[in-house]
Chain A
Amino acid sequence: MAAVLVRTEHITPTQTIMGADAYNKMFTLHGAMMVFLFIIPGIPAALGNFVLPLMVGAKDVAFPRLNLTSWYLWIIGAVFAVASLLVGGFDTGWTFYTPYSTTTPFKGVIPIATGAFILGFSSIFTGLNFIVTIHKLRAPGMGWFQMPLFLWALYATAIIQILATPVLGITLLLLIVERALGVGIFDPALGGDPILFQHFFWFYSHPAVYIMIVPAMGVISELISVFSRKHIFSYRFIAYSSIAIAVFGFLVWGHHMFTSGQSSLMNMIFSALTFSVAIPSAIKAFNWVATMYKGCISLKTPMLYALSFLFLFAIGGLTGLFLGSLTTNVHLHDTYFVVAHFHYVMFGGTVIAFLGGLHYWWPKMTGKMYSDRQGQIACFLIFIGFNLTFFTQFIMGTHGMPRRYFKYSEQFTTLHVLSTVGTYVLLVGFLLVAYYLIDSLVRGPKAPSNPWGGASLEWQTTSPPPVENFSQPPIVGDPYDYGDLVYDPEIRGYRKLIKTGAA
C-alpha cells in the first residue's frame, strides 16, 4: 500500500499527493515493513511451517511451542512497527544508517528498531526449529537425499537465519541504546565509527537477501518438477547449491559498501566473492530449465508463477552482476537501477515464488480448490504490472535517476508515469488473487488429497491434513518420481497407480 502511494507521488516530477517528509517516511515504511515483516518470514514461516513437517513425514515441528512463540513475537514486532508510526514515523530508509538514524528528529526509530529486533528473534526461532526438525524428525527411511529440495532450501535458509540474525540483533540493540542513551559506538561525534554500523548491518542484511530468495528457489524446484511431470534434473547439484549460496552469502556483504569508504583491496575481494554467488544460482536455473526439457508441462497457476520466476529472477540475478562489478557499481550506486534490481530479485523472485507456493499448497492447506482460470489471469496481470513497474526503473537508473528522491527532473516523467501505471496493474492483480482465494474458501470445491500429482509426502495425506498430519505413517519414496501416479477424473486428483494395477 505504501508502495502504491510512493509510486503515485512520482506521477509528476514535483509534489503530487504528499510532502517530502511524508514521502521519506513512506518509502522507509515500505522498505522496513516489507523486508522484516513480509519477505523474510514469508516463505519460511508461512509456507515452511506448514509444509516442512508434512514433507519430512512428522507429526509436527520439533518445538511447537517455540513455533508459537515465534508467531507471537512476529505479532509483537508488527505492533512495534505500527507504534513507530504513531509516535511520528521514521525516515531513515530501512537500512537505519547511522549517524542519521541516531539524530533524525522523528521519534519512530527506536520502536521500529525494537520491532525489527523482536522479529529477528522470531526468525531465529523458526530457523532453529527447522534445523532440528529436519535433523531429528525425518520419517523412517528418509535419508538426506530423499528429502524434497524445498527442505534443502529451508535448511540452508535456517542456517543463515541462525547465524546472521543475531548480528542484526546486536546491531539494532546498539542503535537503540545509542539513540536512547548516547553510547556513541556508531556516532563520530563521540569517537564512534558509522562504517562499523554498515558492516554490521550488511553482515546480516546481505545474508538476509538469501533468507528471502533461497526458500523461493526451493519452492520453484518443487513446482517445476511437478508440473513438468518429470524427475528433477540433477537433484544433488540443486541441493548443494542451496547450501553453497548460504555459505557464499556470508562473504559478500561488503558489496553494499563499495562507495562507503572501504579500501580498494576489500572492494576487489568482495566483488570477486559476489560473482561467486552467481554460480550456484545459475546451477539452479539451468537445472530447472533442464527439468522442463521434454517434460509434459501443464500451465496451471503455480507453474505460471514458476515460469515468471525463472524469467524475472534471471533478470534480477544478471543485473546483480552489473552491480557487483566495481566500475559499473560506482555509476549505478544508489540509482533506480539498484531499486529495480532488488525488486526483480525480491518481488520477481521471492514474492512470485511465494504466490506460486501459495497456489500450489493452497488446496492442501485449506482443503479447497480455487479457480485456475482466475489464477492464470491474476498471474498474467502481476507479471505485466511488475515488468512495467520495474523495467522502466532499470532504464531510469542507467540514466541517473537517484533512488529515494522526492522530486525528479522532467526527462524522467514518461518512465515514472509508466512505472506508476505498472504499480496499479500489479495492485489489480493482487486484489484479484485476494478475491478468488477468499472466494475459494467459501465456495470452492473440495480439494482432493493430491490435486497436482506431487510425489512428496504431503500429498499422501488428506487435504487439509488431520491433527497429527498423517492418519497412517507415510511411505517414503523418491519425491520426484511421478511414474506411479495417475490422474483420476473421479476424485479430480492423482492417485497411486499400484492400487488400480493390483485389481
Chain B
Amino acid sequence: MEAETTQSHTSSEHNPHLAHHFGSLTQQFDSGKLGMWLFLATEILLFGGLFCAYSVYRANHPEIFIYAHQYLSKFWGALNTCVLLFSSFTMAWGVRCAQLGRQRGLVVCLALTLLCGFVFLGVKYVEYKEKWQHGLLWGKYYSPVHHHDDSHEAASGEGPAPQEGHPAVASAVAQSMTPTVVLTTDAGVVVERSKILPAPTGPGGLASLSAGRESHGDEPRNVQLFFSVYFLMTGLHGVHVIVGLACIGWILRRAVRGDFGPGYFTPVDLVGLYWHLVDLIWIYLFPLLYLIH
C-alpha cells in the first residue's frame, strides 16, 4: 500500500494531470521519481534487516543452511525466477509503450506482468504447501515428517497430521528444555553455557526417525532457523508481490481508460520501478536460499 500512496498524488484531476502546487509537469514528474527512489531505498533497508539476519546465521551455522536448503525445490525456485524476470521485461516494455503512446501495447504488457505475478504467487503456494505438509515450518512449529526415500514426495494423506501435531510438539519442545539443561549439569561446570548456546529444542531429539536421506545421516541442530529465515524472507517478498500486483492492477485499469500517453506516464514509470525492485530482491533470494553449497 505504501507504494500506492507515494504515487497517488500525481493522479490529481486538474487541467491535464498537474497538481496545483507544482510549477510544471517536469517538476512534478521529477519529484515523483525522486520520491519513489527514496521509497525504494527504504524498502531495501527493510529487507536489509533480513539479509543481515541471514548473513549472521549463515556465517555462524553454515551446516544448517547446507542441510536445510535441500528441502527447497530448485525447479520451482528457478521457474519463479524466470517468471519474475520475464515480468520485469514486460513491465519495462510497458513503460516504453506508455512513453511512445502505444495504448494497446501498454495494456497487453501490463496484463502480462499481472499474469506473471499471479503465476509467481501460484508457484509460491505450491512450495509453501509442500513445506506445510512436511512440517518444515519456522521456529517452534518446525516438526519435520521424515520419509525414508525422498522428502519431496509427500504422501497426501499425511497432510493434516503435522498440522494437528503442532501445538503438542511445540509444548513438548518447551518442556524438553529442562531435561537438557539437567543433563549438562551432570557434566560439570558448563551449565550456563549449555543454557544459551545449543538450543535444547534441537530437532535431533524430535526427529528420532533420523532422516535417512543424507549420506551423513544426522540432522544438524536448529534447522528451524533456516526455515524461519526462509519463510520470513519469501513471505515479506510475497507481501510485496501482492502490493505490486494491486498497483499494477490499478494502473492497468487506468491504462484501459486511456489515462496515459507520452505527456503523462508517471504512475506507470513509478510502479515499474517498484516492480523491478521486487524482482531484484527475488533475484537475490533465489541463490541465497535455494542454491547453497
Contact = CB atoms under 8 A, between A and B. Distances in A.
B216 to A, nearest CB: 20
B56 A174 contact: no
Q: How large is the interface on A (under 10, 10 to 19, 20 to 34, 35 or more residues)?
A: 35 or more
A185 B224 CA distance: 10
Contacts of A184: 138-140, 224-225, 228
A165 B6 CA distance: 17
Interface string A123-137: 011001101100111
Contacts of A85: none
Contact of B34 (A66, A135, A164): A135
Contacts of B49: 166-167, 169-171, 174, 200
Interface string A39-82: 00000000000000000001110111110010000000000000
A193 interface: yes
Contacts of A177: 232
Given A69-B5, A136-B30, A184-B225, A63 B35 contact: yes
Please classify the interface of chain B as helix (H, G, I), strand (E, B), loop, or mixed, using the class held by over half of its residues.
helix
A477 interface: no
A135 B2 CA distance: 21
A64 B232 contact: no
B73 interface: no
B38 A181 contact: no
A427 B221 CA distance: 55
Contacts of B56: 193, 196
A199 to B, nearest CB: 8
Contacts of B221: 191
Nearest to B11: A65
Given A183-B138, A190-B139, A191-B222, A166 B42 contact: yes
Interface residues of B, number: 52
Contacts of B177: 189
Contacts of B48: 166-167, 170
Interface in B12-27: 19-22, 27
Contacts of B228: 183-185, 190, 192
A141 to B, nearest CB: 13
Contact of A166 (B43, B174, B199, B201): B43
B21 A64 contact: yes
Given A167-B48, A170-B47, A184-B140, 13 more contacts: A62-B21, A63-B9, A63-B35, A64-B19, A65-B9, A163-B41, A163-B42, A163-B45, A166-B45, A169-B46, A169-B49, A173-B236, A189-B200
21 contacts: A58-B21, A59-B20, A59-B21, A62-B9, A63-B9, A65-B8, A132-B38, A163-B42, A163-B45, A174-B53, A181-B138, A184-B224, A185-B139, A188-B196, A188-B199, A189-B174, A189-B199, A189-B201, A190-B201, A191-B224, A193-B57
